[in-house]
Structures are given as structure tokens and as C-alpha cells.
Structure 1
């Protein structure tokens, strides 16, 4: 489980490297999806891509199981911090399960569209009683998660997650962590904003997931520069996650 969990971190690192590449490519007016589905589609096109996709599936599911174990072990503790860690671990487990299932779709030779999935999910929520408030709450949670990523990067709390090597390699890991977490926080926060907009306007088409979030950055003043910066940040996060695969405290 320990080894497979590290494989899961490496798989996540690969996905984020491709996300960064796709974001930069879209910034320069090239087509493509800039979300996890788009990244996994790129993996499928690589030589031996199907085998690599199955490795990603196994690694991500194993990492999810490890996080679920971590969640359970935190239950029953009198420590408030332990409860917080359990909730964070549960949230991460859910995210990795979702990414693992998306990878499984591609490994089985099928395809997925992240934007369409996000819109369908938003439409389903809006159709529920009180769906507008529920979707707005989901958007606020995404905003909070984005803020947490930025906070974790700026305060370097990510250093608690791994044993950082000494010297120049350690300084490089810290830089990658700061830049990567801030960029990931910005991307996640924009997803949250789009969800809130979808709830406020009762228009599920406004909720386009990570793909729409990153592409919306390109529409801002100096948007190309912003999107390239976020793309480079996601690339940095991918490299950091590869490092975490080696040095993570499991």
C-alpha cells in the first residue's frame, strides 16, 4: 500500500504536468481541454499510453484507499487537529477516486468531457429542492479549498507532508511547493466562482469545471500572461508532486 500510494502521487504529478502544458497551449490559442480529462486524453496518445493509464488507475485508487485509512484512524481522537486532518484526508480521497475513475474511463478505451460532466452535475443539483443554495454551497466550498491551497503554499505548510532534502534540492522543493500550491489554489478558486455564478443565474452552462475556469482566465485583462503563469504553476505543482512521491511522509 505504501509503494502504491507513492505511485498514486506520481500519477497525480503526471496529470498536473499535463494540465500545466495544456493551459499554456490554450493561452496561445491552441485548442484542447485544459482539465483532467484533457490531460488523461494526452496520456492515452502516448506510446504505451493504455498501460500507463492502468498504472495511473491503480496508483490513484491505492492512494485513495490509503487516505481513507488515514481518515478512519483519525476518528475518535480528542484532538481537534486530528479531526481536521481526517476531514482533509476524506476530501482528498474523494478527489483521487474521481480522478481514478476518469482515468479508468480512458483506460477502457472510452472518452470523457470534463466540461459536459460539470454542467450535467450542476443541472442535476439545480433540479433538486433547494438546489440553487446547494450548488452555491458547493461553489463556496470550492472557493474555500482554493483559498486553503493558496494559504498552504504561502505559509509553506506543505512542508509538513514530506521529508524535505537538505541543501539546494530542498530549496528547489520549497519553491515548487509555494508556486504550485498557489497556482492550484487559483484554478480551484475560479472553479468555485463559476459554480456560484451558475447557482446565482440558475444557468448550469456557467459551470464548466476546470477547463472553463482556466479558459476564463484567458479572457481577463492580460489573460494570456495570467493563464501562462497558472500553467507554469500547475507544472511546478506536478514536479512537486513527483518529489512528494519520493519523500512523502506516509
Structure 2
């Protein structure tokens, strides 16, 4: 077991692997920037799916789309592996036994793998509809014993994840994972991080709330992913303005991911 852990640690700490993992942050930034611009289109009354699927479709339609999709899939897969390694190969004895620490990293890895999987589907010529998948999942779950309760639980978990993003942004909790330069550059990166984390948190929290509403109203059509959440924001009083702000925040989060690729502690 020790030999296997040492081998895994050596692999994930190699310069080549870390470079690929850092590329994962870059492509993650690209995905968020594309989603942000699609969300702006929605705010202006245009079409498009402001989620991972819509972003992948938009990327695939570019001249270098297939190359970017493969880069997204490989980079985020490597980043997911690194996250798992952080969870289970951490040398620090103070964090090694904290399951909350492990759950956070593993949960993040699952999200990265999901986005990588979506990129792979589009790179191979396929497509996906996250809103339809969410609605199908909600309908199937509600048809099972205790399904309504489970769907509420799913919604609350997603809402909590969104709230955690907001808190991490407001408290600047992300700074401890970065080796930032001093001066104006640091202030700029931190500001982008705060705005980006809060904006993403709001969008994720709304998506979680939609699952809860779907369960309470017994209407699976209400449930949806990020695209449904952003469309919901657009339908609120002053919705287009709110969506503009959130969309700009998602773009800023994408730019922050570029800085994260450079300064993340790995």
C-alpha cells in the first residue's frame, strides 16, 4: 500500500503531470468565459444554452474547436486526478484524517470529470442536454419511494455548494490555495476571484433551488441545470440586469482561472 501511494504521489508530483493539471485550470476558464457570453446573449433576448453543453457546442463550432475540446477533456481529467491525490495523498497529518477535507476535493474532482466527459462527448461528435437530463433525473427520482425527499436533498446539496462558493468569494478563502505575487497584480487577481466566486455561487445556488421547487411542486420540468438557473434569473424583476451581472461574473471567474493556473499551489 505504501509503495502504491509513493508511486501515485511521484506521478502526480511530476512536472509534466502538473503542467497538464495547470492547463486544466486554463481550459476551465475558457468554458466559464464561453458560458458567460452565452448568458449575456440570453440577457439580451437571444438564444443559446448557457451551460457546459452549450459552451462545448460553441467551442466545437470554432476552427480549432475539436482541438480545444480534447484539451478540455485531458486537462480537466488530469486536474481531477490531482484533486483526488490531494485528498488521499496529503502528507500533512492535521488534514489527513479530516473527511470533510477529502470530500471537498473528491467532490471537485467529480465536477471536473463531468465537464471533461461532456467535452469528450462533443469531441467525438455527440451532444448533450443538461436541462433535459436534469428533468429526466428528477422525474425518475420522484417516481421512487421517498423520491421527493431525495430530490429536495439533492437540491439542498447543490444550493449549499453554491452558497459555499459565495462564502469562499466573500471571505477570500481561495487565497490560501494560491502563491500570489505582491502589489497591484495580487489585488487584481483577488478582486477577480471574489467577483467570480460570488457570481458562480449565485448561479449554482439558483440551480439547486430549482430542484427543491421541482420536488415541492411535483413538477420535474422545473428542475434544470445551469442554463435553467440563468434563464430563471432572466425572468426575475430586473432579471436582464441581474443576468448581465452574473454573466460578467462568470467571465471574470474564467479569467481568474487563468491566474489560478499560474499561481495555484501544486
- Both proteins in one fold, TM over 0.5: yes
Q: How far apart, CA to CA, are the structure 1 residues paired with 2:257 and 2:81?
A: 18
Moved more, 226-235 or 156-165: 156-165
Q: How far apart, CA to CA, are the structure 1 residues paired with 2:187 and 2:97?
A: 28
Moved more, 69-78 or 128-137: 69-78
Q: How far apart, CA to CA, are the structure 1 residues paired with 2:130 and 2:99?
A: 32
Q: How far apart, CA to CA, are the structure 2 residues paired with 1:116 and 1:214?
A: 15
Could you tell me whether the CA contact under 8 Å between 1:75 and 1:86 is conserved in 2?
no
Asked if 1:217 is matched to 2:214, the reply is no
Asked if 1:128 is matched to 2:156, the reply is no
Deviation at 1:43, TM superposition (A): 0.5
Q: How far apart, CA to CA, are the structure 1 residues paired with 2:215 and 2:235?
A: 21
More relative contact order in 1 or in 2 (CA 8 Å, sep 6+)? Answer: 1
Q: CA RMSD in A?
A: 1.6
1:208 counterpart residue number = 224
User: Quick one: which of 32, 35, 57 aligns to 2:73?
Assistant: 57
Bigger Cα Rg: 2
| Structure 1: gaps spanning 5 or more residues | none
Asked if 1:141 is matched to 2:161, the reply is no
Q: Residues 128 and 74 (structure 1 numbering): CA distance in 2 closer, same or farther, change over 3 Å?
A: farther
Asked if 1:69 is matched to 2:85, the reply is yes
TM value normalised by structure 1: 0.96
Q: How far apart, CA to CA, are the structure 2 residues paired with 1:101 and 1:167?
A: 39
TM value normalised by structure 2: 0.90
1:30 counterpart residue number = 46
1:245 counterpart residue number = 261
| Structure 2: gaps spanning 5 or more residues | 1-16
Moved over 4 A (4+): 74-81
The count of aligned residue pairs is 250
